[in-house]
């Protein structure tokens, strides 16, 4: 009786292993894995968003008002422009959003030159501090 039970366990184990190894592993994993096309499109979208944010900040720092503010604060604008690319995606997105809002408010007349200069210097200070901490 004891050997019959052992033989039954062996046959059951062998059958289970045979079934497990006969099923293609790809078919089991595909339902839980993100497709390559989805990964590529997400990567492209993130890269494009980063490039837009970098361009937004560089354009903001390159504006005549920003150049004037940076010169008055004795800050090299090229150093700031180079530092922008070293920011994380999250920091870039936040600062680009603030820069866009400040430019829109200034264009609409909601901000004075003095307010814009203060905002520019604050953004530049944030960029330099974030880069220095890393």
Mean pLDDT for all residues in the chain: 81
pTM for this prediction? 0.64
∠ CA 79-134-40, rounded to 5°: 90
* Span 75-101, average pLDDT: 87
Q: What is the pLDDT of residue 26?
A: 59
Note the pLDDT tens digit of each residue in 30-43: 555 778 888 899 99
- Out of 50-54, 122-126, 129-133, the most confident range is 50-54
Report d(CA 30, CA 22) in Å as an integer: 16
Residue from 8, 25, 21, 94 nearest 56 by CA: 94
* Encoded tokens for 93: 């997105």
Note the pLDDT tens digit of each residue in 55-66: 999 888 888 888
Q: What is the pLDDT of residue 49?
A: 94
Return the H-helix or E-strand segment holding 125: helix 113-133
């Amino acid at each position: 009786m004891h050997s019959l039970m052992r033989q039954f366990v062996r046959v059951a184990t062998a059958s289970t292993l045979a079934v497990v190894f006969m099923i293609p592993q790809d078919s089991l994993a595909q339902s839980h894995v993100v497709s390559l096309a989805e990964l590529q499109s997400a990567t492209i979208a993130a890269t494009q968003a980063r490039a837009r944010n970098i361009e937004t900040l560089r354009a903001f720092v390159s504006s005549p008002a920003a150049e004037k503010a940076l010169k008055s604060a004795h800050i090299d604008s090229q150093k700031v422009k180079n530092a922008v690319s070293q920011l994380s995606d999250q920091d870039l997105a936040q600062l680009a959003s603030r820069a866009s809002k400040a430019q829109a408010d200034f264009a609409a007349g909601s901000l004075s030159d003095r307010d814009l200069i203060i905002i520019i210097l604050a953004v530049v200070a944030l960029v330099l501090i974030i880069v220095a901490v890393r």
